[in-house]
Structure 1
Amino acid sequence: MSAGLDIIFLTLSTAEFIIGMLGNVFIGLVNCSEWVKNRKISLADFILTCLAISKITQLLVSLFESFMMGLNPPFYSTYKLAKPVALLWRITNHLAIWFTTCLSIFYLLKIAQFAHSLFLWLRWRMNRVVLAILVFSLFFLLFDFLLLETFNDLFLNIYAMDESNLTLYINESKTFYIKTPILLSFSYIIPIVLSLTSLLLLFLSLVKHIRNLHLNSMGSRDFSAQAHKKAIKMVVSFLFLFTVHFFSIQLSNWMLFLLWNNRSTKFIMLAICVFPSGHSLILILGNSRLRQTALKVLWHLKSSLKREKPISSLQKDLPKPF
C-alpha cells in the first residue's frame, strides 16, 4: 500500500513539474529572445524573466525533494544533502514571491490613475522603487536563513531521539517549535500586504475611472478600463495561488514535525507546487504578447502534426515488398 502511494505521489509531482517547466521556460525564452533581438528589455519583462528563472529553480528543487520523500532513503544518509536543498528552496521561493509582488506594484504604478503627489513621485521613480523593494527583501532572506538553520537542527534532534525519549523531547520543544514556523512565515506578511494594497488601489482607480466616464457607451471599450481589469485579475490570481501556497507550507511544517512517520503526509507537499506551476500559465494568458506567441507555437505544432499524418497514412497504403 505504501509503495502504491509513493508511486502516485511521484507521478503527481512529475506532472506538476512538467506543467510548471513548460510555462516558465516558455516565458524565459520569449523574453530573452526579445531582449537579444531589441537589445533592451522593459521593466515588466525583466521582472517576468527573473520570476521565471526563480520558479524553474524552485521546481527543480521541489522535484528533487519529492523523489527524496517518495523513495524514502535513510534519513542520516540524506540529511547533509537535504539541508542545502532546503536552503536553496527557501531562496527560490523567497525570490519568486517577491518578484511577483514587484509585478503587482508595477501594475499599480503603471496603470492606476491617482493625482496624489506621493503616487506620482513613486511612478516617476518606478525602476528605483522596484529595485528598492528587492533589496529590502534580501534582509528578510537573511532572517530566514538564521531561523531555518535553527529549525533544521531541531528537526535533526527529533530524528536522533529514540521512541522512548521522542515524546518527552517534543513536549519540551513544543513552545520553541510553535514560535519557529510563525517566525518563518513572518517574511510572507509584507509581500501579501503589498499585493493586497496594490489590488485595493487598482480597484479604486478602476471605479474612479469608470465614474469619470459616466458609464457611457464607450466605457466597455476603454483601453484604460480593460488594463485595470486585466491587472486586477492577475493580482487576484497571484493572491489566490499564494494563499494556497502559504497555508500548504505551514501545514506541511506542522504535519512533518508532528506526524513525521506518516507516509501520507507527503501529499500536502503537492499543493506547495501549485503556485510555481499554475501561476506561469496565468501570466501567459494575461500577457498579450506571451499569449499570441503561445498560440503561434501551438498553431505550428498543429500544422506539423497534420503534415506528418498524411505521410504516415501514405506509407501504410504502400504495397509491402516481397
Structure 2
Amino acid sequence: MLAGLDIIFLTLSTAEFIIGMLGNVFIGLVNSSGWVKNREISLVDFILTCLEISRISQLLVSSFESFMMGLSPPFYSTHKLAKPVTLLWRITNHLSIWFTTCLSIFYLFKIAQFSHSLFLWLRWRMNRVVIAILVFSLFILLFDLLLLETFNDFFLNIHAMDESNLTLYINESKTSYIKTLVLGRLVLLSFSNIIPIVLSLTSLLLLFLSLVKHIRNLKLNSMGSRDFSMQAHKKAIKMVVSFLFLFTVHFLSIQLSNWILFLFWNNKSVKFIMLAVYIFPSGHSLILILGNSRLRQTALNVLWYLKSSLKREKPISSLQINLPEPFQ
C-alpha cells in the first residue's frame, strides 16, 4: 500500500508531466505541420522542434523515475535501474539546455543591431554558428557521461547496503567521498552548466545594450518611443530572462536533490524537491507558446475550437427544464 506522501508525490508528478507534455507536444506538432506544409524549415523552427523532442524524452524519463521512486524505491536501487535512467535523463537534460541556449543565441543574432565586423560575420553565418555550438556540446556531453559513470557506481554501491552498513560506510569514507564529490560536481558544473549560462547571459547583455542603443537613436532622431524593433528587443530579453530564471531553479533543485537523496534516501519527504525539476521542461514550453505569435495564435484557435465544440454538445444535465412555479 502506498503512503499518503507517496500518493501526493505521484499525483503532483503526474500533473506536472501532463502539463509539460501538452505544451511540448503542441509546439512539436505546430512546427512539424509547418515543415510538412512548406517543405522547408527555418532555423528557429528546427531549434524549437529539436528542443521539444529532447524535452518530451526528458519528461518521459523523469516520469518513469518518479514512479519508480514513489512505488518501490528499493526495487529502483537494488536492480540498478537508476543507472540507465540517470544516463538517459542526463542526455535529454543536456540537449534541452543546449538547444535552449541556441535559441537565446538565435534571438541575439536575429534582433540585436551592432556594426562590429565580428558580430556581422557571425550573423551572416548564423546557421553554421548554431551547428558548431551543438557539435561542441556533444563533446561536453561525452566528457560529462564519463564522469557520471563513476558517480553512478559510487552512488549505487552505497545505497545497495542496508541502513546500518550505509552509516558505517559513510563514516569510514567521509573524507574521501567529500573530496571526490566536490571535485566531480565542480567539473560537471563547469562543463555542463557554466558554458550555457555564460552564453545566455552574454546574449542577454548584448540584447540589452542593443536595446539601449536603439532607444538612444530614436531619441536623437525625434522618433516615437515604440516601434517593432523595440518590441522585438523587449520580447527577446523576456524570453532569455525566463530561460535563465527557470534554469536556475532547475539546476538548484537537481543539486539539492542529489545531496539530500544521498544522505536521506529513506526519507520520503525529500522526494518532493525533485518536483522542481519539472519546472524547466514544463514551464518554459508555456513561455515559448506565449512568446511566439504563431504558436500563441494557434493555441487560441485550438482553445476556441474546443470551447465551441463543448457548447454544441451540451450534456442533458445542462439543459434548462421548465418546472412549475412552486418547484422553481
TM range (shorter): over 0.9
CA–CA distance in structure 2, aligned partners of residues 118 and 255 of structure 1: 46
Question: CA 1:264–1:311 in 2, change beyond 3 Å: closer, same or farther?
Answer: closer
Is 1:50 paired with 2:70? no
Contact 1:57–1:92 (Cα < 8 Å) also in 2: yes
Letter in 1 for 2:235: K
Q: Which moved more, 1:280-289 or 1:171-180?
A: 171-180
Is 1:199 paired with 2:204? yes
CA RMSD of aligned residues (A): 1.9
Question: CA 1:75–1:182 in 2, change beyond 3 Å: closer, same or farther?
Answer: farther
Contact 1:181–1:253 (Cα < 8 Å) also in 2: no
Deviations 1:258-315 (A, max 9, x none): 2222211111100011000000000000000000000000000010111111776569
Question: CA 1:133–1:170 in 2, change beyond 3 Å: closer, same or farther?
Answer: same
TM-score computed with the length of structure 2 as normaliser: 0.92
Contact 2:242–2:284 (Cα < 8 Å) also in 1: yes
Question: How far 1:229 moved relative to its partner?
Answer: 0.4
CA–CA distance in structure 2, aligned partners of residues 6 and 313 of structure 1: 37
Map 1:294-309 onto structure 2 (within 5 A).
Answer: 294-309=299-314
Is 1:106 paired with 2:106? yes
Is 1:285 paired with 2:290? yes
Residue 285 of structure 1 aligns to a residue whose secondary structure is helix
Is 1:182 paired with 2:186? yes
The residue number in structure 1 matching 2:326 is none
Map 1:167-316 onto structure 2 (within 5 A).
Answer: 167-171=170-174, 172-186=176-190, 187-214=192-219, 216=222, 218-220=224-226, 222-309=227-314, 313=318
Question: CA 1:262–1:314 in 2, change beyond 3 Å: closer, same or farther?
Answer: closer
Question: CA 1:65–1:169 in 2, change beyond 3 Å: closer, same or farther?
Answer: farther
CA–CA distance in structure 2, aligned partners of residues 149 and 223 of structure 1: 49
Give the % identical residues.
Answer: 80
Letter in 2 for 1:50: C
Question: How far 1:169 moved relative to its partner?
Answer: 4.0
Question: How far 1:157 moved relative to its partner?
Answer: 1.8
Contact 1:106–1:126 (Cα < 8 Å) also in 2: yes
Question: CA 1:170–1:52 in 2, change beyond 3 Å: closer, same or farther?
Answer: same
Question: CA 1:22–1:76 in 2, change beyond 3 Å: closer, same or farther?
Answer: closer
Contact 2:51–2:99 (Cα < 8 Å) also in 1: yes
CA–CA distance in structure 2, aligned partners of residues 124 and 285 of structure 1: 28
Residue 273 of structure 1 aligns to a residue whose secondary structure is helix
CA–CA distance in structure 2, aligned partners of residues 76 and 108 of structure 1: 43
Contact 1:158–1:170 (Cα < 8 Å) also in 2: no
Count of aligned residue pairs for this structure pair? 316
Letter in 2 for 1:13: S
Question: CA 1:110–1:262 in 2, change beyond 3 Å: closer, same or farther?
Answer: same
Greater than 6 Å deviation, 4+ residue runs: none
Question: How far 1:235 moved relative to its partner?
Answer: 0.2
Contact 1:158–1:169 (Cα < 8 Å) also in 2: no
Q: Please, which runs of 5 or more residues in structure 2 have no aligned partner?
A: 323-328
Question: How far 1:72 moved relative to its partner?
Answer: 2.2
